[in-house]
Amino acid sequence: MRKKVKVGIPRSLLYYRRNVFWKKFLEGIGVNVILSPITNKDIIEKGKSLSIDESCLPSKIYFGHAYYLVDKCDYILVPRVSNYGKEKRVCMKFYGLYDTLNNLFPDTKFLVYNIDYLNWNFEFVEMMKLGLKLNRNIFRVLWSYFSSRRKEKNYRLSLVNEQINVLKSNKLKVLVVAHPYVIYDDYLGSNVINYLKEMDIQILYSDRMDRKEAISYSKDFSKTLYWLYAKENIGSVFYYKEAVDGVIFLSSFPCGVDSLVNELAIRKIENVPSINIILDESTAEAGLQTRLESFIDIIKARRDNE
């Protein structure tokens, strides 16, 4: 029997957005998927030492994850995303992710797919190319693509439905607005999430709502916003504005997009209490908890008054 190709996926950045699709697609074409572990101290230290000081914390963590995978698999999957069409651009760090990694680890092979709709690089074609590199059977690749898309869609739907159920509860509800790679990362967002859960507060996630709907809501906020991920985040704020008791903006230092968009959003939503938490390498848990505690006291008091 032929040995299976091993493909590693760093558990950071776009992993939290596309994990279901990637895993199903790669397994469908007969590839062993290796995931890097949940973010831990070693990974962060390694990532920090590999990257430029000024780069944002999630991308530092990404390099740490990639380093972990370097000698454990044949390929590492790295997407290069530029845009999904007009006014659907993404943060510039995704433009050069592949090239940076390629320069950091010159001896490692990377699987890259390039999404750049304005230059006619569509996801379907790019995934086909990637699939055919690993598996010659085009029918298998096609089937794998469509089935994994369907699975991803169903998974998204289940998340959205879960969120709708959360919305029905009578407890205090807080919307956490953050990029998925900040909020689901064990080192970055989990402190906040765990604390909120401890306080028995229902958490709504900004990425667990219908993306198209979120984008249409973001038009209320700003007509010239052109970042896709920021649109989805901000759209959720304006969608849930009436339903939640408070909004927590969670961003990592120094996130370029959030520095503008979150600031503007805080200025524009007036009658909902909001807090802007910026996570960096030295965020102390105690300080964070104090801030969250006082924020929760405020929203509790507000609710009791009504």
Partner 1 sequence: MNSDKIVSFPHLGCYAVVFDYFLSNVLKCKILVPPPTTRRTIELGSKYSPDFVCVPFKYNLGNYIEALEKGANVLIQGGGGCRYGYYAELQEEILRKLGYDFEFYNLIVDNHISLKKGYRFCKKINSKTNIFKCGYYLFNSLVMILCIDKIEKYIRSNMGFEVTRGEFEKLEEEYFSSFDKNNGLFKIIKNYYRYKKNFKKISLNKNGKHLKVMLIGELYSLIDFNTSYNTERKLMKMGIEVYRETDLTYLLIGKKMRLSKMVRKSKKYIKYNLGADASLSVFNALRAVRDGYDGIIHMKSFGCIPEITALSILENIASENNIPMISLSFDAEDNEVGVDTRLEAFYDMIEGRK
Task: Name the residues that contact partner 1, by CB under 8 A.
Answer: 51-52, 54-56, 80, 82, 86-87, 89, 91-93, 95-100, 102-104, 112, 114, 222, 224-227, 253-257, 259-261, 263-264, 267-268, 278
The distance of closest approach from Cβ of residue 285 to partner 1 in the complex, given in angstroms and rounded to an integer, is 21
**69 or 91: whose CB is closer to partner 1?**
91
CA distance 134 to 5: 8
Reduced to 3 states (helix: H, G, I; strand: E, B; else coil), residue 169 is coil
CA distance 271 to 299: 12
**110 or 195: whose CB is closer to partner 1?**
110
**97 or 174: whose CB is closer to partner 1?**
97
In degrees, to the nearest 5, what angle opens at C-alpha 146 toward C-alphas 144 and 151? 90
**81 or 172: whose CB is closer to partner 1?**
81
**148 or 251: whose CB is closer to partner 1?**
251
**205 or 229: whose CB is closer to partner 1?**
229
The distance of closest approach from Cβ of residue 110 to partner 1 in the complex, given in angstroms and rounded to an integer, is 10
Q: Which residues pair with 274 in a beta bridge?
A: 247
The distance of closest approach from Cβ of residue 234 to partner 1 in the complex, given in angstroms and rounded to an integer, is 12
CA distance 160 to 210: 7
CA distance 262 to 267: 9
The distance of closest approach from Cβ of residue 203 to partner 1 in the complex, given in angstroms and rounded to an integer, is 25
CA atoms within 13 A on the CB side of 218: 26
**37 or 254: whose CB is closer to partner 1?**
254
CA distance 58 to 255: 9
Q: Tell me which residue has tokens 């101290």.
A: 41
Contact of 34 with 69, CB cutoff 8 Å: yes
The distance of closest approach from Cβ of residue 218 to partner 1 in the complex, given in angstroms and rounded to an integer, is 12
CA distance 233 to 209: 10
The distance of closest approach from Cβ of residue 130 to partner 1 in the complex, given in angstroms and rounded to an integer, is 14
CA distance 196 to 173: 10
Gap between the terminal Cα atoms of the chain: 69
The distance of closest approach from Cβ of residue 65 to partner 1 in the complex, given in angstroms and rounded to an integer, is 16
Nearest partner of 112 among 152, 75, 141, 67, judged by Cα: 75
**Measured between alpha carbons, how far is residue 140 from residues 8, 22, 33, 134, 275 in Å?**
21, 15, 17, 11, 48
The distance of closest approach from Cβ of residue 135 to partner 1 in the complex, given in angstroms and rounded to an integer, is 23
CA distance 37 to 216: 36
**66 or 193: whose CB is closer to partner 1?**
66
